[in-house]
Amino acid sequence: MKFRSLIEKSYYRFYKYFIAGKDSQCFYKGRIDTPKQVIFYLADKKIVHLGDTLWFEPIARFLSGHFDVSIYPNPAMELYFTKLGYKISSRLTTDEQAIVIAPIELMFKLRNLKNVLFLSFDYRSVTSGGKLINSMINAVARHFNLNSDLADGKYRAPLYTSTQIDENFKKFNLQQDGKYIIFNNYIDSWGKHTTLEMVNEYAKILINYAKNYKEKNKNIKFIHTGSTIDKDKDDTLLDDLIDIDLRGKTTIEDLFMLVQAPQVVGYIGFDTFLLHLSNMYNKQSQILLRPGHSDEVNQKIKDAVLVPYFSNKYPELVLINHD
């Protein structure tokens, strides 16, 4: 297994750094210039995490104005694209007139497909003051010789009715007149130079920050989110912080509705899926970036990635000091 992983990484790095170029945002392995169909392949759960999936929505929306677009999603995110009206695919076509769009990390997996446009979401390629999603839309537009006329690269939010949101609140015994912060102290992935000890130390910093926040905002209750696995592995005592423990009890759609709810005023946690949902529904976030970067790099990640849209319609995002 380790040998296969080494082959995959070597294949990817060879193409990214020696063929495409390390700063290239698009790399096309194909034979046709103008497709009849574009399929976004996002089904690899190991590579395309929940939050990563959302980055492709503005690009798919842009291309929908020019091509027949469908999404082959991570199964957990199928509801998201379905609710937004996208066509869903469950297989990769061998049609000569179709182009597949996928993350560049999947180059080895998709090496036998004829027409694939690989995208590299790398904040380091963004010019100073720029936004990652803006630069990616422009890069894709240039590839297809299109004008990038998208006014706002914000990934769209699936909107639920007030009745649906209220019923979701009742399911978890939340109060209609309450105010809530969603709290999550888990990181789903980290870089090769980051150790588990570093992650645990950052989790302590995040918890202490959350406790100080709650002390200053006594009218706000904390909802703890996470998976069943997170809960089983976490022996941290948070009785003085957590009011409602929903770890292992929520679906992806539950999280969409919780964050959209007007009673939820913000999110405190790491830069994970819940940050993207908070951005999507214009909720304030207070974020501790996962370990491994300098303050300078963290600031660029905030400006280009964590506050991702090139419009000004988002609330302030606070970076928690890791010192």
DSSP string spanning 180-231? Answer: EEEEE---S---TT--HHHHHHHHHHHHHHHHHHHHH-TTEEEEE---HHHH
> What are the average pLDDT values for consecutive 10-residue runs of the chain, which has 323 residues?
63 68 81 90 92 94 94 95 96 84 90 91 85 91 85 85 95 95 87 76 93 96 95 88 96 96 96 93 92 83 83 75 76
| pTM to 2 decimal places | 0.90
CA distances (Å), origin 300, targets 133, 251, 305? 14, 32, 8
- The answer to whether 275 touches 244, Cβ cutoff 8 Å, is no
Q: What is the pLDDT of residues 34-63, one digit of tens each?
A: 898 999 999 999 889 999 999 999 999 999
- The per-residue pLDDT for 290 is 85
C-alpha–C-alpha distance, residues 108 and 112, integer Å: 8
- The per-residue pLDDT for 314 is 66
β-strand pairing of 244-245 with 220-224: parallel
198's tokens: 């570093």
β-strand pairing of 26-29 with 116-119: antiparallel
Query: CB pairs under 8 A, 24+ apart, for 111-114?
Result: 111/11, 113/29, 114/30, 114/31
**Residue keyed to tokens 């999947």:** 106
Domains and CATH numbers, the chain: 2-143 (no CATH), 162-319 (3.40.50.2000)
Q: Is 322 strand, coil or helix? A: coil
- The per-residue pLDDT for 130 is 85
Q: Indicate the helix (H) or strand (E) that contains 2.
A: helix 2-14
- The per-residue pLDDT for 1 is 46
**Residue keyed to tokens 């089904």:** 43
CA distances (Å), origin 301, targets 82, 114, 120, 317? 30, 34, 15, 12
C-alpha–C-alpha distance, residues 31 and 49, integer Å: 29
| Closest CA relative to residue 120, chosen from 20, 204, 194 | 20
